Amino acid sequence: MQVVGRLLHLMTNDLGAVLTLVMNGYGVPAMKIVRSMFEAECNIHYLSKNPDAIKDFADFNIIERKQLYELMDGEQKSKLDPAEVASMLAEYDTIVPRFTKNGKVRREWCEETLYQRAEAAGLKDLYVTIYNWTCSMHHTDFRSIVQSYDASADDLHIAPSLAWLDQALVNAYGPFLRALGYYIDMTNVSFESEMQDLATQYREACRCIGAENTGKQSTKSQSERAGG
């Protein structure tokens, strides 16, 4: 449960970063952080429903440390503490069978893909819309140009602007509130009235900016823009 709490802590920091960017008119950079928050929500939901997977979530760090070690050259390795290296390699040998199938070490901590984790959390629609769009923004493919296009100026939006600010707010608060709910459920502590109040305030805020479905559906104008 501590691991999930720390993930929620990271989401709190991300939410603060989104608010800072939105208040200064940087919608697209804020949406890039929304991408991370969506992934965190999917992970928190999965771990809250599959607490035994928390060990895999934490132990996969050792797999990644071993992979990084293998990328080092001899000079870099010589600067490491031999005792710490030996301990890491011993831990790796112990846990790697859990992550190995058909002789190959899997690429992430969970056997289920992010899409499958999103679907299990009831977030399939968000995955194929908001998350897909934020991936384009993050990787700066051609669609990222389309998403930043300002038809009135026949050019890209130059920050500060109003572009994507509403979407960033809706899709940052939504994952955070849902993830907070998953964590509270794990603690067996009742904050039902407080969570209901937050959900009501969130829905009202979404209604005011035209995203009535509590942030789970994009506004029509943004959907058309992203689709080109």
Q: Which residues are bridge partners to 174 per DSSP?
A: none
**What integer pLDDT is reported at residue 189 of this predicted model?**
85
Burial group, residue 50, by CB count within 10 angstroms (0-12, 13-18, 19+):
middle
pLDDT tens digits for range 9-56: 999 999 999 999 999 999 999 999 999 999 999 999 999 999 999 999
CB atoms within 10 A of CB 200: 10
pLDDT at position 200? 86
Q: What is the rounded distance in angstroms from the CA atom of residue 23 to the CA atom of residue 165? A: 8
Q: Tell me the pLDDT of the chain (228 aa) as tens digits.
A: 899 999 999 999 999 999 999 999 999 999 999 999 999 999 999 999 999 999 999 999 999 999 999 999 999 999 999 999 999 999 999 999 999 999 999 999 999 999 999 999 999 999 999 999 999 999 999 999 999 999 888 999 999 999 999 999 999 999 999 999 999 999 888 888 888 888 888 888 888 877 755 444 433 333 333 333
The model's pTM is 0.87
Q: Does residue 218 contact residue 129 with C-beta atoms inside 8 Å?
A: yes
